[in-house]
Amino acid sequence: MNASIRQAFVALRFLIVMTVILGIAYPLAIFVIAQLAPNASGGSMLTNASGEVVGSSLIGQSFEGDKWFLPRPSAAGDGYDALASSGSNLAADNPALVEAVAERKATIAATDRVDLKSIPADAVTASGSGLDPHISPEYAQLQVQRVASARRLAPATVAMLVDEHTQQRFLGFIGEPRVNVLELNLALEQLT
């Protein structure tokens, strides 16, 4: 048999073996692992007390009214539109961003009856994706009085709910403490 024909058969066998391993076995293994991982492959859907899916723990959503904890602003489409994920892409000194932040601060100060200096940055700026479902514990605590008053609950009860839903840094040092707004509002709904 000619050496070049033999090399062609070796190359063909190698191609078939690698196609089976990398094109079938590896993707199938990753699919199985993803299905076994808790809350990862199904979109991390959250349900209300009646079992109805109300959203994902990975994508923020809008809430309106004094009875709810409010999320951080979204720059994604009409608000938390996963198909339009984006930040504002405005520089920190851009007049449009400076004006938007000032307006948001004034609104929060009036709504929550707090000093402008106590409003954290995540309350007035969108995340990089515009879909962040979390707020800082400081922003959540800032809203406690308003939510407790609107729901006729003791502020200590609502503050305790915020503490219970505060997620600490991953492995103790990665990221920042955060509160998932949808999970907190679902717990608040069950409380009342």
Give the model's pLDDT for residue 135.
Answer: 93
**Tens of pLDDT along 121-169?**
898 888 777 778 899 999 999 999 999 999 999 999 999 999 999 999 9
Q: DSSP letters of 127-143?
A: -SSS---EE-HHHHHHH
How far apart are alpha carbons 81 and 60 in whole angstroms?
9
How many separate helices (H) and strands (E) can be counted in the chain? Answer: 6, 5
Domain range annotation of the chain: 1-42, 45-191
Q: Flag whether pLDDT at 115 surpasses 60.
A: yes
**Tens of pLDDT along 67-99?**
999 998 887 777 777 777 777 778 888 898 899
Of the candidates 111, 120, 97, the residue with the CA atom closest to the CA atom of residue 147: 111
Of the candidates 141, 143, 125, the residue with the CA atom closest to the CA atom of residue 73: 125
How far apart are alpha carbons 97 and 45 in whole angstroms?
33
